Structure 1
């Protein structure tokens, strides 16, 4: 779990949309697709950060599990409810990923806390997420780009806030994010297929 994007010192053209916006999936998929590397040979890896032991911090592994069910052929997914990526194993998982893939393009996915009127918003933009920043943990930054979901309000007793976040909103946000990624994957797969015919 990290703090809202303004605390990450990221300056970019990001897309920010509420999970229940009718255009959310298309907006997120379009932004994701435009952010992926032009080289279709570069591995695309999603690192979904969080833990199933905290409702608010379960956004990442929920997304990871939903993506795993879709059997994406061109995207690689790490961090699920069964095998979460969290503070204890994050460094080891990043080493594992970099050993498994040559020059992977990493998308970090994590929950974050923000203002009350921003709860339910999903952002995608350039630069990494900083896991643990919202609860004062020093962990490695993750991702060439990031996707974050504001699950609750920041500013006071963050651990308690995360534990008392509504599961409904986290599940709904996870569904929107995973559906958007799946849509981007389908379009990316078509791009990869067409490039084969041009070789």
Structure 2
């Protein structure tokens, strides 16, 4: 069983799991979740942060969500020659809250709340936002926003280290705080 990692180790795990020959221009980030549940907003927040930093290869932001109802439609937008890195929140054990899992392979979105969707992605990054088990939907709903925002920033920073953008594509830091446009 793979152990969760802290944000400190996240960049090195991305280096270990995703082969070095896979560069930023060979991937699409698919950020899954919704803005209607705090715990499930991790993916769209990461997508929004990445877009604000200049990443163009992102599907799924706060303003253009990827969720269970449109997942396969959104995945059809991915060019065949691109690798998909899926980013989503998950529920886990108490001692894993705030930590991350990185997998060589996809993940099954919504599995923690009883949805039965096919696994998607070539690689996946999951953040444990709360404890799983009893009343999963409500647990996601009442997850602390501050934790989810912190984790979204940590994933974004790790992605920036593993898949740096050329200087000419980067946006100014003055605009990075706004996620609503």
Q: CA deviation at 1:184?
A: 1.4
| Mapped contact 2:41–2:148 kept (Cα < 8 A) | yes
SS of the residue 2:163 aligns to: helix
| Mapped contact 1:18–1:121 kept (Cα < 8 A) | yes
Between the aligned partners of 1:39 and 1:114, the Cα distance in structure 2 is: 29
Between the aligned partners of 1:79 and 1:113, the Cα distance in structure 2 is: 20
Is the aligned partner of 1:87 residue 2:68? yes
Between the aligned partners of 2:101 and 2:22, the Cα distance in structure 1 is: 24
Larger Rg: 1
Is the aligned partner of 1:63 residue 2:46? yes
What is the TM-score when the length of structure 2 is the normalising length? 0.83
What is the CA deviation profile of residues 178-198 of structure 1, one whole-angstrom value per residue up to 9, with x for unaligned ones? 011012122x769xxxxxxxx
Between the aligned partners of 1:91 and 1:42, the Cα distance in structure 2 is: 22
Q: Return the match for 2:127 from 149, 161, 173.
A: 149
Between the aligned partners of 1:110 and 1:175, the Cα distance in structure 2 is: 14
> Alpha carbon RMSD of aligned pairs, Å?
2.1
TM-aligned CA distance change 1:69 to 1:39, over 3 Å: closer
Is the aligned partner of 1:53 residue 2:46? no
What is the TM-score when the length of structure 1 is the normalising length? 0.76
Q: Return the match for 1:124 from 102, 126, 129.
A: 102
SS of the residue 2:103 aligns to: strand
Q: CA deviation at 1:104?
A: 1.3
Gaps of 5+ in 2: 168-181
Gaps of 5+ in 1: 1-5, 7-13, 191-199
| Mapped contact 1:109–1:129 kept (Cα < 8 A) | no
- Corresponding residue for 2:6? 18
- Corresponding residue for 1:10? none
How is 1:83-122 mapped onto 2 (pairs within 5 angstroms)?
Answer: 83-97=64-78, 101-122=79-100
Question: Between Structure 1 and Structure 2, which shows a larger proportion of helix residues?
Answer: 1
Between the aligned partners of 1:127 and 1:163, the Cα distance in structure 2 is: 27
